[in-house]
Amino acid sequence: MSGERIWLYDTTLRDGAQREGLSLSLEDKLQIAHLLDQLGVHYIEGGWPGANPKDVQFFWQMQQEPLTQARLVAFCSTRRPRTTAAEDPLIQGLLAAGTPWVTVFGKSWDLHVTEGLGTTLTHNLDMIADTITYLRQQQRRVFYDAEHWFDGYLANPDYALATLETAYQAGAEWLVLCDTNGGMLPHQISEIVQQVKARFPDAQIGIHTHNDSGTAVANAIAAVQSGARMVQGTINGYGERCGNADLCTLIPNLQLKLKYDCITPEQLTRLVEVSRAVSERVNLAPNDHAPYVGASAFAHKGGVHVSAVGKNPATYEHIAPEWVGNQRRVVISEQSGLSNIVAKARELGLPLDRSHPAAKEVLRRLKELEGQGYQFEAAEASFELLVRDVLGQRQPAFVLHGFQVHCQTQAQGNGHWSSSVATVKVEVDGQELITAAEGNGPVSALDNALRRALVNFYPQIGEFHLSDYKVRVLDGQSGSAATTRVLVEFTHGTYRWTTVGVSTNIIEASYQAVAEGLEYGLSRLRATAISQAQKVKERP
């Protein structure tokens, strides 16, 4: 088993794009294709060129921007019932994509043939044979995706096997078994793949699993252990309904745990980078709790865990996080002990150890603030500012002297019109400024007013983006007088940070979080500039 090649086939651009709420522009598809190429994926399914103009344009554009090592694949169904492959416009669109490799899916389940296609079982075999034979005549290499394979096999094994036999004899180089409904469990996948391998000992078998039973990755692994040598999946498990097999979990499991040869170790270290870059492209928040690539995948909260990991990471980590491009994190909360405080401070590059008087003071303040409702495990930027304050290293780029927010709502036709205006008083280098700005809500107005006051002093602040805003009512029984916690996330390029504010006044809590977010972003830029200047100074 060790060192045996497993071929990776990514379908993020086609199957993954079928996820509810996910939409890809042409530029998104181009960028993701090149990210997958750099990751080392062997085959990239670009879309269905006969189905929509965007995919036609994508394949044309990819001819101008070719991949470096991956093979681009165009996707299509077998020909339709009452025509021939040579006359079917969908097949002609597939050929026009210009890819040497194509994927054709056909029906394996007799239910789909008679009720879905409305044709006979024999005619479906003719459709499979005609399509693949014609594509081979046009010098195309063919993956055959046996749609609903496992359901079809359980319902009518003789007919399901006949569809595979037809595709294989017509010239398909890979027979891909699809759990399209995602209803199978690993033992079923394993048993059926073994039976297929026994029937087609010389055929190359692939596996395509969906996650409707929560077992897509486990099912793909079971198939590989039973003889499949290609896995199909998507980045971050995106896909219709509950998604597809997540390549970000599948690849390291196959490579690090089962010792298969998937991609190079250097490419594997890009896994987190690719996962997050794709999530940014599709405009979906990264899953912080995803295996291997999530921000919490190697996070440690309990004091016993943190202390043990500090001595030997293997005590609570199943792999080294850097193997997949991730990093170890210490989480700070009211459950924290000195071990957490010290480890987190070191992680942030701050000089702190257990004997330092500041360590106990940080812990005291942390527990006091969390007792008031603050949550630092979700707001690491606020925690860093707290530690720097205790150490006397906090150098605020500005001082806030107060704010006002005015909200107005007026009836307008059958609806209403609303606006918010915020006024802030800020001091920078001894100079006081009073600035006002509008926003589509009070928090937006506050953010805009602060930026307007500060941008002349710190132009880089224009590159900070308020990317997320969360509100939590902490004592719901108090009604509108309840204490609220606000978490605000900022981004600057690919870097993100979160700050927290707490108050019985939601605007005050928002004000705290937004102000600390801007302060942290500016302090980070200042530290980066100092570090770069020091490196220049040290050059011979």
Strands annotated E in 319-398: 329-330
Amino acid at 481: A
Which residues 6+ apart lie within 8 Å of 264 measured at CB? 40
Average pLDDT over residues 497-507: 91
Identify whether the C-beta of residue 1 lies closer than 8 Å to the C-beta of residue 31.
no
pLDDT tier for residue 310 given thresholds of 50, 70 and 90 = confident
70: in domain: yes
Task: Report the DSSP beta bridge partners of residue 178.
Answer: 208
Quote the pLDDT of residue 100: 97
Same domain, 11 and 86: yes
Same domain, 337 and 431: no
Residue 383 has pLDDT above 50, yes or no: yes
Which residues 6+ apart lie within 8 Å of 202 measured at CB? none
Quote the pLDDT of residue 332: 67
Distances (CA, A) of 149 to 14, 87, 211, 394: 19, 27, 15, 62
Distances (CA, A) of 200 to 48, 164, 191, 263: 29, 9, 14, 27
Number of domains composing the chain = 3
Q: Rounded CA gap, 37 and 13, in Å?
A: 13
Residue 1 has pLDDT above 50, yes or no: no
Closest CA to 383 of 404, 403, 400, 362: 362
294: in domain: no
Q: Is the dihedral of CA 425, 497, 495, 523 positive or negative?
A: positive
Angle at 321 between CA 325 and CA 499, to 5 degrees: 80
For the question of whether the overall pTM of this predicted structure is more than 0.85, the answer is no
274: in domain: no
pLDDT tier for residue 334 given thresholds of 50, 70 and 90 = low
End-to-end CA distance of the chain: 51
Considering the chain, what is the average pLDDT of its residues? 90
DSSP 256: I
Same domain, 71 and 178: yes
Same domain, 29 and 130: yes
Same domain, 406 and 371: no
pLDDT tier for residue 15 given thresholds of 50, 70 and 90 = very high
Q: Rounded CA gap, 201 and 4, in Å?
A: 17
Average pLDDT over residues 447-456: 90
Residue 476 has pLDDT above 60, yes or no: no
Please indicate whether residue 310 or residue 286 has the higher confidence score (pLDDT).
286
DSSP 99-167: -SEEEEEEE-SHHIIIIII-S-HHHHHHHHHHHHHHHHHTT-EEEEEEETHHHHHHH-HHHHHHHHHHH
pLDDT tier for residue 66 given thresholds of 50, 70 and 90 = very high
3-state helix, strand, coil in the chain (%, to 5): 45, 20, 30
Same domain, 382 and 419: no
Q: Rounded CA gap, 225 and 243, in Å?
A: 22
Q: Rounded CA gap, 413 and 190, in Å?
A: 63
Most confidently predicted of 49-63, 112-126, 164-178, 290-304: 164-178
Lowest mean pLDDT among 155-164, 189-198, 409-418: 409-418
Identify whether the C-beta of residue 296 lies closer than 8 Å to the C-beta of residue 288.
yes
How many C-beta atoms lie closer than 10 Å to residue 493's C-beta? 7
Please indicate whether residue 256 or residue 358 has the higher confidence score (pLDDT).
256
Which helix (H) or strand (E) is 381 found in, with range?
Answer: helix 380-390
Which residues form the domain of 487? 399-536
Token digits for 91?
């097949």
Quote the pLDDT of residue 352: 79
87: in domain: yes
278: in domain: no
Same domain, 403 and 445: yes
Longest dimension (CA), the chain: 86
Quote the pLDDT of residue 286: 86
Same domain, 415 and 350: no
Quote the pLDDT of residue 380: 86
Average pLDDT over residues 117-135: 96
Domain boundary among 355, 373, 390: 390
Token digits for 284?
């979906």
| Long-range contacts of 529-538, Cβ-Cβ distance < 8 Å, separation of 24 or more | none
Q: pLDDT tens, 345-354?
A: 887 888 777 7
Q: pLDDT tens, 197-253?
A: 999 999 999 999 999 999 999 999 999 999 999 999 999 999 999 999 999 999 999
pLDDT tier for residue 371 given thresholds of 50, 70 and 90 = confident
Summary count for the chain: helices (H), strands (E)? 18, 16
Same domain, 254 and 310: no
Closest CA to 245 of 231, 228, 233: 233
Angle at 412 between CA 409 and CA 413, to 5 degrees: 155
Residue 504 has pLDDT above 50, yes or no: yes
Same domain, 70 and 100: yes
Cα-Cα-Cα-Cα dihedral of 431, 437, 443, 447, to 10°? -50
Same domain, 222 and 79: yes
Lowest mean pLDDT among 301-315, 365-379, 472-486: 472-486
Identify whether the C-beta of residue 500 lies closer than 8 Å to the C-beta of residue 511.
no
